[in-house]
Amino acid sequence: MDVQSWIRKLVVDGKGASAIRRAYNLLASMMRDAVDEDIIAVSPCRRIDLPAEAVKPPQWFTLTQAQVVLDRLSQPWQAMALLGFYTGMRWGELAGLHGHRIDWLRSRLFVVEVNANSGIKEYPKSSKSRREIPIPEHVLDALARHMHGRDPDGVVFTTVTKGRAGRLLDDGNWRRQTWWPAVDGAKYVDAAGKRRAVPHYPPHAMRHTCASWLVQQGVSLYEVQHLLGHESYQTTQRYAHLAPDSHQAVLGAWTRLDSQLIVPMDAVAEAKPTLAAISQ
């Protein structure tokens, strides 16, 4: 009862659902450890009602928007972003990629290490984050140009600032100094011919963009799940609405009805003055 009351108080205080879940998961983990160490007999974190998290649609760039952002980046960040858009790798995976993980002959790379800002660490061998990713030929060519003259086995993307070159990238610094300056000033021309600002999306949007483009091209969610290294299929289902045939079954069902509901044309004509009045 105490735990449930605590959760309700967090809700009343206006805490977000994701923050509440993180706090609860930490408490539940501590209670499990306490049970394992015989400090308490039973965990109080049982059958607790948690607030539902709203599923946010993934933020992804169109091809035109992505190209504008790419054009505003300097090397070697163009190669890094290109790899991000075409592989869906997490930023830490891009920043932790080693040259010896690239199979140049088979156009593949192996995601094993991740830059966790505290240093490079390997994913557990049982983790789905460990995976093999195919690389398009033009992306592999860009990688080869970037790797020319570099340690073929070392970290692929490192700092380039004079006097500090060759160090592991820091997520926060990379966003402030590289990503946001490119995104914030980027403009593109939409389908109507209007010049617009590129959406203010973080680097993680490269991962969403990769998945979104693939799903729109008919790649199955199962394949996308393995490409991105999602532990849960439910995570990948966020992109299901982008599939080219996602609504065909519904639309097809409506057309197969014996008859359709209709609005008589005279009723539509009578309604026009009313609609005009409403619009005013």
Helix (H, G, I), strand (E, B) or coil at 146: helix
Side-chain-facing half-sphere of 126: CA atoms under 13 Å: 0
Q: What are the strands, taking DSSP E only, across 160-200?
A: 187-189, 195-197
Whether 238 contacts 55, CB under 8 Å: yes
DSSP for 218-279? T--HHHHHHHHT-S-HHHHGGGGGGSTTTTHHHHHHHHTSSS-----HHHHHHHHHHHHHHH
> What is the predicted pLDDT for the residue at 248?
80
- Note if the pTM is more than 0.85: no
The answer on pLDDT for 235 being more than 80 is yes
First-to-last C-alpha distance (Å) of the chain? 55
Q: What pLDDT does residue 278 have?
A: 52
What integer pLDDT is reported at residue 33 of this predicted model?
Answer: 93
The winner for highest mean pLDDT among 9-23, 44-58, 234-248 is: 9-23
- Return the DSSP state at 210: H
pLDDT at 269: 60
CA distance 80 to 4: 46
Cα within 13 Å of Cα(51), Cβ side: 21
C-alpha span between 140 and 148 (Å, rounded): 12
**Nearest Cα to Cα of residue 236 among 208, 204, 202:** 208
Task: Tell me the C-alpha distance between 219 and 243, whole Å.
Answer: 8
| pLDDT for 259 | 82
Q: Taking residues 25-43, report their average pLDDT.
A: 93
Checking 20-25 for CB contacts under 8 A at 24+ apart, the result is 20/50, 20/51, 21/50, 21/51, 21/53, 24/48, 24/50
Interval 61-67 mean pLDDT: 96
| Cβ 209 vs Cβ 87: under 8 Å | no
Reported as half-sphere exposure (CB side, CA atoms, 13 A), residue 178 has a value of 22
- Angle between helical axes of 77-87 and 137-147 (0-180°, round to 10): 150
**Region of poorest pLDDT, from 87-91, 117-121, 221-225, 260-264:** 260-264
How far is Cα 97 from Cα 121, in angstroms, rounded to an integer? 11
When mean pLDDT is compared across 38-42, 161-165, 181-185, the lowest value belongs to: 161-165
Point out the least confidently predicted range of 65-79, 181-195, 252-266: 252-266
Nearest CA among 86, 92, 133 for reference residue 110: 133
Per cent of the chain over pLDDT 90 is 71
Which range, of 68-72, 195-199, 230-234, 271-275, averages the lowest pLDDT? 271-275
Instruction: Return the minimum-mean-pLDDT range out of 156-160, 172-176, 185-189, 231-235.
Output: 231-235
